[in-house]
A and B are shown apart, each in its own frame.
Chain A
Amino acid sequence: MDFDPLADAMHRGIITASNVVVGYGDKIVWRDASFAIGQGEFVAVIGPNGAGKTTLFRLLLGLQQPISGTIEIFNARPRRGNPRIGYVPQRHLIDSETKIECLELVRLAVSGTRWGLNPFSHDDRKTALNTLQAVGAAELAHRSLGALSGGELQRIFLAEALVGNPDILLLDEPLSNLDIRRGQELVQLVNNIVRSRNVTAFLVAHDINPLLPFLDNVIYIANGKVATGKPKEVLTSESLTALYGVHVEVMRDSKGNVAIIGTGTEDHHWEESYGVQH
């Protein structure tokens, strides 16, 4: 009997999608996505602006339903408020005037969903401090959110998402405002979390190169289609040419970094992204 890698992946997958089509109203964002992601995998979600990367997250968060096809998380349909998912949304800006300290934001990830006052309960404070420590941000606990650098902020958001020990992390463009070094530090941190806690992390990014050494899988979204697999399967001239429908060349440098040439879509997808986000 032949070994079928896709069937095997489906079997052990904690997140599975088959023939998923998503869109807003009549407009289809992408179609025919089938993939399986296992426990403890580091997955990059790559693609041009407006391709529907955030839409994938909205699907997993239960904020949006597929037009057709099925998507399952732990053998159940995605639902809003799933405690097994930690989420870091894409944030365009943080109010630089806000004086509120980091600890308060992370505390709310613990207790912000509880109604009523609990003046005698301080478990949220302790949990928040522990989680800040886990992402190496204990010393930021009493700093104002508005005074943090981009890299520091992303650590705080990561702590916020990690509260409650989720099995899945969804990180939407955490690297977008970071310089190369801070970006690498954050990717290392996410990788450590993935490996030490056996968490499955999805990280949306524009540039795959800082992530390449750590990735288990890539979800490449472009041209209304989705390609998934190991980085070396997806990031080939053949696979990306099939995805984009035009000839695409994948080149590698001596360190294994890839350059994808010929897509020509980076710019004109930009305007669409606004309509698609909310």
Chain B
Amino acid sequence: MTRRSLALYVGRRLVALVLLVVVISFVVFSLLYLAPGSPEQILLGARPSTPETVAAIRAEYHLDDPFLVQYWDWARDALQFDFGRSIRTNEPVVDGIRERFWLTLQLGGLAFLITMLLGVPLGVLAALRRRTATDRGVVALSVVGVSAPAFATGILLLYVFAVRLGWFPVFGEGSGVIDRLQHLALPAIALALTGMGLVLKLTRTAVIGSLEQDYVTFARARGIPRRRVLGAYALRNGLVPIVTAAGLLLAYMLAGTVLVEVTFALPGLGSLLVESVRTLDIPMVQALTILIATIVVLVNLLADLVYVAIDPRISFEKAKA
């Protein structure tokens, strides 16, 4: 793709991001509206209440307004970046998210690094030793990480490394760089395990595919050393699936982060989202969804751009007939 068409492409994607945000905010708002229960019932908890209290709370959050009016009220404020106050905790939504954002980012980032630094080399190893016990074993181990739920692997890690060996603290997020790293090590490993299978298997498949190409045979026939063939040819041409896998780690992490946060007592965005959904905390759910949608789009866009960087032949333009 030419530089210009690439710039246009990025521009179009960003416009699409805005559209996506609008659409998804409407859809999620509707889902919250359709969900059984309503915020005041959840706020009142398990107490019998007087009709006046119910009415007062409903009035405060405009819950009796028609659906579209409620949505528009929210949207109008959101357009000015005022995401309102959490119904559940009363604090400004933005403050609530900001406090937890960095922790989740650090946890996710660390897990991402671990997954890539372990998954790719192991995938290459499995490809080189394909069909041997090493291959089967490595694949099987990576699948363990995917199939075992994060709370199980989390507790196992805790028991072995935090309790028996005492190398890490049991819970919490710590403060200060070294302390934070120590606290996030085990949770990051638990989270990394869920995505490891994907990276490993896709790397393995990609490298196997590359190794079977004609150019590899020719390169070997010309006497190019094995390592160079592997690095410069086989791996490089198998990079696209690896990049895809890296981008998809986000999906696995989004799913796994809640379980890890609960197991290791980390106040992160995952648990915030779950708790907000359960309590029908409309402003918070809306804001979190927009945040997640933005991250998703940016990650996918980044992955697509990396495709082009790896292989300039790739183009997103319409296929010429």
A in complex with B: no
- Chain B contact residues, CB within 8 Å of chain A: none
